[in-house]
Structure 1
Amino acid sequence: MAHPTGRAARPQEAAPTAPPRAPRGPRLRRGATPWLFLAAPLLLLIVFTYAPVANMVAYSFTDWDGVSPELNYTGAGNYAELLTRPALFEVFFVSGYYLAASVLQIALALYFATVLSFNVRFRNFFKGVLFFPYLINGVAIGFVFLHFFQDGGTLDSVLRLLGVHTDRPWLGTPVSANVSLAGVSVWRYLGLNFVLFLGAIQSVPGELYEAAELDGANRRQQFRHIIAPGIRPVLSLSVILSVSGSLSAFEVPFIMTGGATGTETFVIQTVKLAFQFNKTGLASASAVVLLLIILAVTWVQRRLVPDDRVDLV
């Protein structure tokens, strides 16, 4: 039929139709598939992490001795006793040695990771040497360094060969013992931070280094403007791990000194409360306090140094 204006009428375009909706059964199966894969890890996480933490919090409000089937509710009495114990605050001074050692550890790990990220001779060999201590069991490390620091042990023998004669008891005074133990922690965990930093540095695009070399930038300038901004998230993670590790140091000081000579840490004190003095309720409260302190420190650190997205390109 002719259009009133004299032009042929266009056929009306059909309205777009919505795609047919999938049947209800396949949609339910598609939505349930991710939860099927997550079921096993979530079950393990609940059984071996969240359930024990919940039990620990519950025990912290009781006077349970860890053996008797009977336990009495004491309210916040355990927490009040902890906050009025002078020994609780003394162990935090011991953690200060490990915190200072973690600063040195991060600095050394960052230095070695930066140097070995460039083409140097035997860099694979040095990578293995730096990471190897982290693979050793903590108990074995404790026994090795117990002989290393004992009177007439390895350290005294090496110093004697170098002409240095000393009668210092390395584990005999609080200061020297804590410095020695903190030094062992630096040697042990240096490899972990080294690997984290090395991976972060190698994830930076190589074109940035090539452009910097063409512009005449030296190694120090490349570190300041390329490497340091690129590894900021990993550096933040290392700080969190170092702070939490300083507060929860246990294996090496427990094996080497057992907490004697002023080397008792927060975790060693908690273990003694539970298994030596049979005060599991008080030990549970101590563990809850440590957990809250670590969470608070982590929250403050994340607020002060937010994990911003870094764009180097």
Structure 2
Amino acid sequence: MTDTTEKAAVKTTTGAASTAPSPAPAPRGTRVWRGVTPWLFLIAPLALLITFTYAPVANMLAYSLTDWDGVSPELRYIGAENYAEIFTREDLFRVFFVSGYYLVASAVQIVAALYFATILSFNVRFRNFFKGVLFFPYLINGVAIGFVFLYFFQDGGTLDSVLNLFGVESDRAWLGTPVSANTSLAGVSVWRYLGLNFVLFLGAIQSIPGELYEAAELDGANRWHQFRHIIAPGIKPVLTLTVILSISGSLSVFEVPYIMTGGATGTETFVIQTVNLAFRFGKTGLASAAAVVLLLIILLVTWIQRRLVPDDKVDLV
């Protein structure tokens, strides 16, 4: 009798639960408002993005198909003549070889930043002081850096004075030949952007759980083993991002060489050449085509790198 009563009670309860009325759907006005609300928050950023990014890019594409001088109100359509001129004139495309100096400097910069970030991620004396020293150059304005190092590399300047203290006599013009000038400018780039990569690497390293280091130490792993099997795989996404930024930055160098040499002595970069075409020689159409070519090259390099090094999820456990 008891079992029968319990089964009946369970059946009654189940039936009551199954027949309970489902919540009424929200009114149509409420549902519409919920769908519109996210877009209301996106109106301002999307408007700024379109106004200051996509609209200028569209205008640049349109100008690249004309011979506009940047002043005349009339635009004459010439098709792909500007692009043909860029790829057929050796002097216009040769400036990309200058980017090779900055690519090498970027590799040195990434290695140095990764080294310092790894060292200072462990318990080292005065590590906060060294963090500030490494990151400080990135906070300085590029124009100020250009003027400072302009006096640093001049004849009888700071560099020559320091070398004389160590008994090294130097009578060379550091910015006088293409090789020495580009090497000097690339060195300035390393000094300036080392702090940015250092902070990116340091943040990625410190995000790795500390338990992994403790387990590695219990297994007898030294610092090199920890770097190879824990740190390097753990910061792979940040390392990939840093390489992409370094390559794109190497192809679009402008501030420091423009301030220090103005593109003279074989230091003219692609961006300096584009600025000169537009504002010195009045060839805005050709300059726009050059900017489009640079944009496409950067996108192509980024796409190739993402294909070669996919952004896989990192699992260190």
User: Same fold per TM (> 0.5)?
Assistant: yes
**In structure 2, distance between residues paired with 1:22 and 1:62:** 56
CA 1:21–1:187 in structure 2 vs 1: closer, same or farther (change >3 Å)?
same
**In structure 1, distance between residues paired with 2:232 and 2:91:** 40
1:79 to 83, 102, 109: 83
**In structure 2, distance between residues paired with 1:97 and 1:87:** 18
Tell me the equivalent position of 2:302: 298
**In structure 2, distance between residues paired with 1:151 and 1:79:** 41
1:35 to 26, 35, 39: 39
Which amino acid counterpart does residue 198 of structure 1 have in structure 2? L
Is 1:251 aligned to 2:278, yes or no?
no
Is 1:23 aligned to 2:27, yes or no?
yes
Q: What is the CA distance between 1:8 and its match in structure 2?
A: 7.5
**In structure 2, distance between residues paired with 1:214 and 1:261:** 57
Identical amino acids, percent of aligned pairs: 81
1:309 to 300, 306, 313: 313
| TM-score between both structures, scaled by the size of structure 2 | 0.95
**In structure 2, distance between residues paired with 1:161 and 1:74:** 60
2:138 to 134, 138, 155: 134
**In structure 2, distance between residues paired with 1:134 and 1:27:** 48
Is 1:65 aligned to 2:69, yes or no?
yes
Q: What is the CA distance between 1:118 and its match in structure 2?
A: 0.3
Q: What is the CA distance between 1:264 and its match in structure 2?
A: 0.4
2:49 to 22, 45, 48: 45
CA 1:159–1:21 in structure 2 vs 1: closer, same or farther (change >3 Å)?
same
Which amino acid counterpart does residue 72 of structure 1 have in structure 2? R
Q: Contact 2:86–2:93 (CA<8 Å) still a contact in 1?
A: no
* Structure 2: unaligned runs, 5 residues or longer: 1-6
Q: Secondary structure at the match of 2:275?
A: helix
**In structure 2, distance between residues paired with 1:98 and 1:39:** 39
**In structure 2, distance between residues paired with 1:307 and 1:171:** 41
Q: What is the CA distance between 1:309 and its match in structure 2?
A: 0.2
Q: Residues 173-225 of structure 1: CA distance to partner in whole angstroms, max 9, x if unpaired?
A: 00000000000000000000000000000000000011111111110000000
By percentage of residues, which structure has more helix? 2
**In structure 2, distance between residues paired with 1:226 and 1:54:** 45
**In structure 2, distance between residues paired with 1:204 and 1:116:** 14
1:105 to 109, 117, 121: 109
Is 1:284 aligned to 2:268, yes or no?
no
**In structure 2, distance between residues paired with 1:295 and 1:137:** 27
**In structure 1, distance between residues paired with 2:21 and 2:193:** 62
1:2-21 equivalences in 2 (<5 Å): 13=15, 14-15=18-19, 17-21=21-25
**In structure 2, distance between residues paired with 1:214 and 1:88:** 59
**In structure 2, distance between residues paired with 1:8 and 1:146:** 94
Tell me the equivalent position of 1:3: none
Superposition CA RMSD, Å: 1.4
Q: Secondary structure at the match of 2:268?
A: coil
Dislocated runs of 4+, deviation >6 Å: none
User: What count of residue pairs does the alignment treat as equivalent?
Assistant: 307
* Structure 1: unaligned runs, 5 residues or longer: 1-6
**In structure 1, distance between residues paired with 2:179 and 2:239:** 29
Which amino acid counterpart does residue 261 of structure 1 have in structure 2? T
**In structure 1, distance between residues paired with 2:291 and 2:31:** 45
Q: What is the CA distance between 1:15 and its match in structure 2?
A: 3.9
**In structure 2, distance between residues paired with 1:201 and 1:133:** 22
**In structure 2, distance between residues paired with 1:291 and 1:89:** 14
